[in-house]
Amino acid sequence: MLFYDCSTAPNPRRARMFIAEKGLNIETREVSIAKGEQLSDAFKAVNPNATVPVLITDEGAALTENLGIAAYLEARFPEPPLMGRTPDEKGRVLMWNSIVEQQGGQPIAETLRNTHPAFADRAIPGSVNHAQIPELAQRGAGRVEHFFELLETRLAESSYIAGSEFTLADITTFVFVDFARVIKKRIPKENSATLAWYETISARPSAQL
């Protein structure tokens, strides 16, 4: 297998943590988004959509989305399980992973990409340029506030995002919560359940990657 990574971006970090939690050692190539390497002809030959992460499987398939990468690795290396064991658990993991992507990852990205000068004309990842829309950044910042409240409600009743065990949903949530620092958003100090969960996840070796 071969893993295309970017050490500064949140989505590659999600895959990197998943790989680490599986205890796998996969050959890795760094793709610098800051230098625009994802837009090079060489990388677009790997992924025409010009996004990272990418996992090249032993069979030669190029998996370009976190969920596809996780599903492949979970199927090949089922222990430790990170996507649930029972049908109910599997459903909850994917449900919460989707909720976090939509309610957390998306508004954080909207806020960053529609305000930061580095993303001028690059407001949406991929091979096509898109202009920034300041109104989307305003909306995104408000949605991030709601996201933190959603997490606090959930974690006040559950040890982990999808249930009683650490899963892919925790990786996704942790990476987005951590990345919110780029838009100057942090877990509110009164959100004690979320802060306790964040401390627990931060202590895992994979969180240091």
Q: Summarize pLDDT for 47-96 with one digit per residue, the tens.
A: 999 999 999 999 999 999 999 999 999 999 999 999 999 999 999 999 99
Domains of the chain: 2-76 (3.40.30.10), 87-208 (1.20.1050.10)
Mean pLDDT of the 32-50 span: 95
Radius of gyration of the chain (CA): 17
Mean pLDDT of the 91-108 span: 97
Residue 65 in tokens = 């989305």
Name the pairing type of β-strands 2-5 and 27-30. Answer: parallel
Indicate the DSSP class of residue 55: E
Task: Kindly state the greatest CA–CA separation across the chain.
Answer: 48
**Confidence class for position 124, pLDDT limits 50, 70, 90:** confident
Question: What is the per-residue pLDDT for 180?
Answer: 97
DSSP string, 169-192: HHHHHHHHHHHGGGGT----TT-H
* Distance separating alpha carbons of residues 81 and 151, to the nearest angstrom: 23
Strands of the sheet containing 27-30, edge to edge, are: 27-30, 2-5, 54-56, 62-63
Three-class SS of residue 139?
A: helix
Mean pLDDT of the 3-30 span: 98
Mean pLDDT of the 28-36 span: 95
Type of residue at 83: M
CB-count exposure of residue 2 (10 Å: 0-12, 13-18, 19+): middle
Residue 115 has pLDDT above 90, yes or no: no
CA angle 183, 108, 106 (to 5 degrees): 170
Question: What is the per-residue pLDDT for 147?
Answer: 98
Dihedral of the CA atoms 194, 199, 205, 209 (nearest 10)?
70
